[in-house]
Each structure stands twice: as C-alpha cells, then as structure tokens.
C-alpha cells in the first residue's frame, strides 16, 4: 500500500515498527529515523529477513524542521508517525505541513520548561492542516488513544448520552527493580508528579498530586491502589463526548514506587528547573533519567499483566446504563512476540493501527483530529486482530 516515516526508535517505536513489519501489505516500506541512528540500524538488522516490509534508516534531529523536511522530501512517505518525545510534536507537525504529509502521534506537545498537558498548541494547527488538505491524528497510543476509541465506541453502540467516564490504568507488572519507570522516565515522572485534576460540570477541579486514592479489583490482576491523575485525553473527551458531566483518570502505583518518588522529589531530583553543576547547566530530572534503568531493558524481567479501560455511566432509551470496556495484556507474552514489555506494547500497537487507518484512507479528514472524532469500528476490529483484544462488562463495579 505505501510508505511510512517513523520518527524515534525507543520503547514504543520498537513495538510499532515490529507491528508495521507484521503488516507488510499496508506498510510496504518504512523509514526509521531517530537521533541515534545505530538504534535504528540495530532494529533493522533484527527484523530484516523476517518481513516483506522494506526498511530504511536515517539520522534526524526532530527539533530541526529543515532536516525533517529534507528527509520527508527524499523518502516521500504517505504518513509520518511521530514516536519521539512530546517536545518534538510541533516541529514534526511543521514539517508535515510544509510537505503536505499526514501526521500521527501518541502524546500531546509539552514545552520543555513546563510540565503542561494541554492540546492548545496542537489544536492551533487546525486551520493550517485544513488548508493543506492533510490529516493530523493526535493521541494514537493507549491512553490517550484506545481510551478515546473505547469512548467513541460506547457512544456509538451503547448510549444516547454518556454522563461519566472513569479511565482506569492498571499495571500489575513487576520488574523486580526497587524503582524504574515503564516508559520514558522523564515524561513519566513529569506526569505523575504534576497536580491531579478532573473535569466536572464544565470545569477543572485541581487536586494535590496523588491526593485522591481508591482501591479497585482489576480482572486479570487483582486488587490495586489507584490514584487520580490529570491526563491529556480528559481535555478532548470532555469536548467530544455528548452529555459528559464528569471524567476522571486513575493509575495504579505500588507503595514502593510512591515512596521512592517522594524521596526523589524531596531531594530535588524530579525538578525540571536547570541547575549549575560543575560549571554546566543540567536538569535534575534529565540526570535522573540517565541513572534509572532504560525502560527498554525491562522487557525480559517484567511479569504480570496490565488492565486498562474505561467505565461509562449514562443513558440508553431513557434508562440508566453502565458499561466497562478494557484490555488485559500480559508482559511476558508481549516480550515473547516483540521483545518489549506491555506498556510499550499497548502504546505501539495502537500507533501502528492509527497510522494504518490514515494510510489506507479509512480515517481521513482535513485538519487536526483527536482519535475519538473518527469512526471507532475499524480501530476496534484492528485491536482484536493486532494483539490487543478487548473485553466488555455490562455490570461493572463502579468507582466512588
Ligand atoms: P523513549 O525515550 O524510549 O524513545 C524516544 C525516542 O525518540 C528515542 O529513540 C529518542 O532518541 C528519540 N528522540 C528524542 N528526541 C529526539 C530528537 N530531537 N530527534 C530525533 N529523535 C529523538 O520513549 P518512549 O518510546 O517510551 O515514548 C515515545 C512516545 O510515546 C512519547 O511521546 C511518550 O509520551 C509516548 N507514550 C504514549 C503513551 C500513550 O498511551 N499514549 C504511553 C507511553 C508513551 P535516542 O534513542 O537518541 O534517545
């Protein structure tokens, strides 16, 4: 069918690339381009001979629009799948605009110097993408991503209006380290050390970090403590889902993770304010990232399952209704299939699916779209086909 340029070659990209290579009918040719070309070459060597997809590699600085434009003009992909870091979203969108190429990502833009999770910078590209006649698909990971598709599916098939959504993200995996993060530590720690917030009756209610705690019994995992966090899809779902009064996001954390995090925070290691160290400016959180285990190295040691999904409360034919849609994913199964743990897997698979649906024209529009704005059915089918089957429960335990 066509060509995709994949930017970044970390944990999530590695899974998405494995999945593109399993789907050679759509991804006939891919270019893996990242800051460190040797990682791209290593992955290419691993996959070549096992796939019909033709793989190219390149070095690129995705902060540099001119370099990106030159690469896109040379390779001429139908889509660019951005799996670098949220800091690169806008430069990559700029390059897509200049070359009129469709854009897909998994995380909203964040400025380097403030941990802000908002769509406003990317939504500001709406008119320019419309004028260029190209699609930007924002947030095609799991959360954001599958959680938005689940919401659109629930709305389409099960409700006349959805009044409440609770997104529950449970990682029941154990990697055996006292402290490590399952995806990029800098992005992960920025997210969990920020204030929490949820959307209720048209406004944001802000909480202290980890202020709201609940226990939930997750199918496939068991009972876990979970904490309310701000999460980027709350902002778009609050706009796009009809009848919504409240939307919250909870993530599970073990006590050891929280104790380590508190200690690191207390000594200033999670700060994103640059400090002077031996005559050089360093950002403490970036230094911490350098000493923590690389998330890519967790694959072989992580056992257990994830369970991520959404509980919906609303109305159908005038009656109250509840509905829970979720996916259970096994860390070791993922490792056997693609050499990664389930957090990278549950993000990389939807990234490939989003790129596929834009590439084959199933999902197309002119402008900037959050994932729940497209027809969820083809994505839901693809989740079952490509390794993230979903389950449903019509009588779930609710979160108070
Ligand atoms: P990693 O840190 O493992 O990988 C990031 C990759 O981007 C690395 O290969 C890195 O290069 C490359 N990169 C960084 N800066 C540049 C640059 N300036 N130019 C070119 N390449 C660059 O991160 P993850 O794979 O864990 O995460 C990738 C994305 O997925 C992030 O945006 C993250 O927020 C998102 N994510 C989304 C989730 C969801 O459910 N929606 C869940 C988890 C993650 P190098 O190898 O040199 O470091």
DSSP tally for the chain: helices H, then strands E: 14, 18
**69/99 Cα distance (integer angstroms):** 7
Question: 285: CA distance to ligand 1 center in Å?
Answer: 16
* pLDDT for residue 194: 87
Residues contacting residue 70 through CB under 8 Å, at least 6 positions apart: none
35 lines ligand 1 (CB under 6 A): yes
For residue 223, report the phi and psi dihedrals to the nearest 5 degrees.
Answer: -75, 135
pLDDT at 356 over 80: yes
Please check whether residue 40 is in contact with residue 33, taking contact to mean a CB–CB distance below 8 angstroms.
Answer: yes
> pLDDT category, 115, cuts 50, 70, 90?
low
The one-character DSSP state at 173 is -
370 lines ligand 1 (CB under 6 A): no
* pLDDT for residue 185: 83
* pLDDT for residue 110: 87
Using a cut of 0.75, tell me whether the model's pTM lies above it.
yes
User: Tens of pLDDT along 151-191?
Assistant: 999 999 999 999 999 999 999 999 999 899 888 888 888 88
Output the residue whose Cα is nearest ligand 1's atom 10.
8
Question: 117: CA distance to ligand 1 center in Å?
Answer: 16
Question: 112: CA distance to ligand 1 center in Å?
Answer: 14
Q: Which of 84, 310, 340 to mutate to test the pocket of ligand 1 (most atoms within 8 A of CB)?
A: 84
């Amino acid at each position: 069918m066509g060509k995709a340029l994949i930017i970044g070659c970390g944990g999530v990209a590695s899974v998405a690339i494995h999945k593109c290579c399993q789907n050679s009918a759509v991804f006939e040719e891919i270019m893996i381009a990242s800051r460190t070309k040797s990682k791209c070459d290593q992955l290419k060597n691993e996959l070549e001979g096992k796939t019909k997809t033709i793989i190219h590699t390149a070095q690129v600085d995705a902060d540099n629009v001119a370099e990106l434009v030159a690469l896109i003009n040379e390779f001429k992909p139908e889509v660019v799948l951005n799996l670098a870091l949220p800091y690169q979203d806008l430069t990559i969108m700029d390059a897509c605009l200049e070359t009129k190429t469709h854009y897909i990502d998994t995380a909203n833009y964040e400025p380097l110097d403030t941990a802000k999770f908002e769509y406003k910078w990317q939504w500001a590209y709406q008119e320019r993408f419309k004028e260029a006649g190209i699609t930007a698909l924002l947030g095609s990971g799991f959360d954001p991503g599958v959680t938005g598709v689940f919401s659109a599916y629930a709305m389409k098939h099960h409700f006349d209006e959805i009044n409440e959504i609770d997104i529950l993200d449970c990682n029941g995996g154990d990697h055996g380290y006292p402290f490590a993060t399952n995806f990029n530590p800098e992005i992960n720690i920025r997210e969990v050390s920020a204030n929490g917030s949820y959307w209720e009756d048209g406004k944001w209610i802000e909480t202290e970090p980890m202020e709201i705690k609940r226990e939930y019994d997750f199918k496939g995992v068991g009972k876990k403590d979970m904490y309310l966090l701000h999460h980027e899809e709350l902002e778009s779902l609050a706009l796009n889902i009809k009848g919504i009064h409240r939307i919250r996001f909870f993530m599970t954390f073990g006590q050891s993770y929280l104790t380590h995090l508190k200690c690191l925070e207390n000594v200033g290691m999670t700060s994103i304010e640059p400090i002077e160290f031996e005559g050089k400016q360093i950002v403490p959180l970036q230094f911490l990232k350098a000493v923590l285990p690389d998330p890519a190295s967790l694959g072989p040691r992580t056992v257990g399952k994830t369970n991520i999904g959404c509980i919906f409360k609303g109305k159908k034919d005038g009656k109250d209704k509840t509905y829970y849609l979720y996916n259970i994913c096994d860390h070791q199964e993922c490792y056997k299939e693609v050499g990664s743990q389930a957090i990278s897997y549950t993000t990389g698979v939807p990234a490939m699916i989003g790129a596929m649906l834009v590439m084959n024209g199933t999902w197309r529009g002119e402008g900037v779209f959050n994932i729940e704005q497209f027809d969820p059915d083809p994505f839901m089918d693809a989740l079952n086909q490509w390794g993230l089957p979903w389950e449903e429960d019509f009588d779930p335990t609710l979160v108070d």
